[in-house]
C-alpha cells in the first residue's frame, strides 16, 4: 500500500509540475514552484519472497495509468545455483531497468541467465530491453505476436503512460522455446504452451518449489483482461492448470495463490461474462445496453471490474454475434 501511496503522490507532483509549466511564471506560487523541481518519475519496486529463492514484484491491481506507471502486472525472479531466471519484465524500459537493479541488489553478482515472457501483452514484456538479449525467451507464437503488434502496442502504451515510456522499444526475444523442460543454472523448469488469454500463453513450473507461473491465464482479485481472449480455450487451460501438480501458483495479476483460488475466480468471471454477453446478443441489446449489465456482488471486490467488463463487451460481442448468426453450436463458442 505504501508503495502505491508514494506512486500516487509522485504522479500528483508530476501533474502539478505540468500545471505550473503551463500556467506561466506569473501564476506560480510557492508550493507549486517547489514541485516543478520534482525528480523524474521512477518506479520503486519491492521484491516479496513467495517461495524458496523466488521473489515477486507485485503489480498494482489497477488499470494502466500515469499514476502507476503501467506497473500493474506481476514480475518474478528466481535464484538458481548459477544465476537468475526472470519471469516477465513489466511495462517499460524504465521498469525493466528498475527490476534489473532490484535483482542486482537482492542477488549481488548473479548473472541473468534466462528471461521468460509469458505472453505478448505489453504490461508484461515491455521491460525486456533492460535485460541481456540472449537471455530473452518465449514460445515462437509469443515472439511472432510481439513482433507483429509491437508498433500498435507501443503507440497505445505511450499514449496512456506518457513519459514513463520514454526510450522504450519493444524487444521481442530472439530465442524461441521448443522444449517442454529446461535446466537453467542448475534448476529445472517445465514449460507448457497453453492458450485462451492470448493465442499463446506460456506456463512455467519450477520443479524445485512446485510454483507455477500462470501468466494471465489466472487473475486473482482483479478482473481478467480479454483483448485477445478465446473463452473455450481459456477454460480448457484453466482445467489443465487445475490438474497440474503444484504447490502454489502465481497469477499474472494478484497475490500468490497456494489454494488455486485464482483459477476458480477467473473461470467464474469468464462463465459470467460469456453468459451475460450471450444473453445480450439474444435479446438484441445495443452495445451500451449490454455494458450497463449489473456486475454480480461476488465480483464486487475485484479491481477494475466495471472497466474490464465494458472492454470485454467491445472485444467479444461482435465475434459472438457473428458466431451465433452463423449457427455455430453454442458449445463450440
Ligand atoms: Zn495479458
Tens-digit pLDDT profile for residues 101-147: 999 999 999 999 999 999 999 999 999 999 999 999 999 999 999 99
Confidence (pTM): 0.86
37 alpha carbon – ligand 1 mean position (Å): 36
What residues contact 20, with CB distance under 8 A and at least 6 apart? 27, 28, 32, 33, 35, 36
First to last CA, the chain: 40
Percent of the chain at pLDDT exceeding 90: 79
pLDDT exceeds 80 at position 216 = yes
CATH architecture, domain defined by 2-332: 4-Layer Sandwich (3.60)
Given pLDDT bands bounded at 50, 70 and 90, which one contains residue 29? Answer: very low
| Digit-coded pLDDT (tens) for 225-255 | 999 999 999 999 999 999 999 999 999 999 9
168 alpha carbon – ligand 1 mean position (Å): 19
186 alpha carbon – ligand 1 mean position (Å): 29
251 alpha carbon – ligand 1 mean position (Å): 11
Given pLDDT bands bounded at 50, 70 and 90, which one contains residue 7? Answer: very low
DSSP one-letter code for 90: B
145 alpha carbon – ligand 1 mean position (Å): 12
Rg of the chain taking only CA atoms, in angstroms: 21
307 alpha carbon – ligand 1 mean position (Å): 15
Instruction: Give the per-residue pLDDT at 254.
Output: 98
118 alpha carbon – ligand 1 mean position (Å): 9
| Digit-coded pLDDT (tens) for 38-70 | 456 899 999 999 999 999 999 999 999 999 999
125 alpha carbon – ligand 1 mean position (Å): 10
Amino acid at each position: 500500500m505504501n508503495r502505491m501511496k508514494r506512486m500516487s503522490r509522485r504522479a500528483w507532483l508530476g501533474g502539478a509540475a505540468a500545471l505550473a509549466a503551463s500556467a506561466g511564471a506569473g501564476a506560480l506560487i510557492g508550493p507549486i514552484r517547489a514541485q516543478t523541481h520534482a525528480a523524474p518519475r521512477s518506479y520503486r519496486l519491492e521484491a516479496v519472497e513467495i517461495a524458496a529463492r523466488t521473489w515477486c514484484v507485485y503489480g498494482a491491481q489497477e488499470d494502466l495509468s500515469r499514476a502507476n506507471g503501467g506497473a500493474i502486472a506481476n514480475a518474478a525472479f528466481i535464484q538458481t545455483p548459477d544465476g537468475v531466471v526472470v519471469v516477465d519484465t513489466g511495462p517499460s524500459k524504465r521498469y525493466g531497468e528498475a527490476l534489473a537493479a532490484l535483482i542486482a541488489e537482492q542477488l549481488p553478482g548473479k548473472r541473468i541467465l534466462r528471461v521468460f515472457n509469458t505472453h505478448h501483452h505489453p504490461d508484461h514484456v515491455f521491460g525486456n530491453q533492460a535485460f541481456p538479449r540472449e537471455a530473452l525467451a518465449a514460445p515462437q507464437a509469443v515472439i511472432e505476436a510481439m513482433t507483429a503488434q509491437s508498433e500498435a502496442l507501443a503507440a497505445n502504451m505511450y499514449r496512456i503512460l506518457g513519459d514513463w515510456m520514454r526510450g522504450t522499444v519493444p524487444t521481442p526475444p530472439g530465442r524461441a522455446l521448443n522444449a517442454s523442460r529446461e535446466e537453467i543454472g542448475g534448476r529445472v523448469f517445465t514449460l507448457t504452451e497453453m492458450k485462451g488469454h492470448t493465442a499463446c500463453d506460456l506456463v512455467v513450473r519450477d520443479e524445485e518449489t512446485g510454483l507455477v507461473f500462470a501468466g494471465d491465464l489466472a487473475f486473482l482479485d482483479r478482473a481478467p483482461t480479454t483483448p485477445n481472449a478465446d473463452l473455450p480455450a481459456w477454460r480448457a487451460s484453466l482445467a489443465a492448470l487445475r490438474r497440474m501438480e503444484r504447490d502454489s501458483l502465481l497469477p499474472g495479476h494478484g497475490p500468490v495463490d497456494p489454494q488455486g483460488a485464482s483459477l476458480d475466480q477467473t473461470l467464474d468471471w469468464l462463465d459470467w461474462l460469456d453468459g451475460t454477453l450471450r444473453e445480450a446478443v439474444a435479446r438484441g441489446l445495443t452495445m451500451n445496453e449490454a455494458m450497463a449489465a449489473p456486475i454480480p456482488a461476488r465480483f464486487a471486490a475485484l479491481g477494475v471490474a466495471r472497466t474490464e467488463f465494458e472492454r470485454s463487451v467491445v472485444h467479444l460481442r461482435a465475434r459472438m454475434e457473428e458466431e451465433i448468426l452463423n449457427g455455430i453450436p453454442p458449445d463450440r463458442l
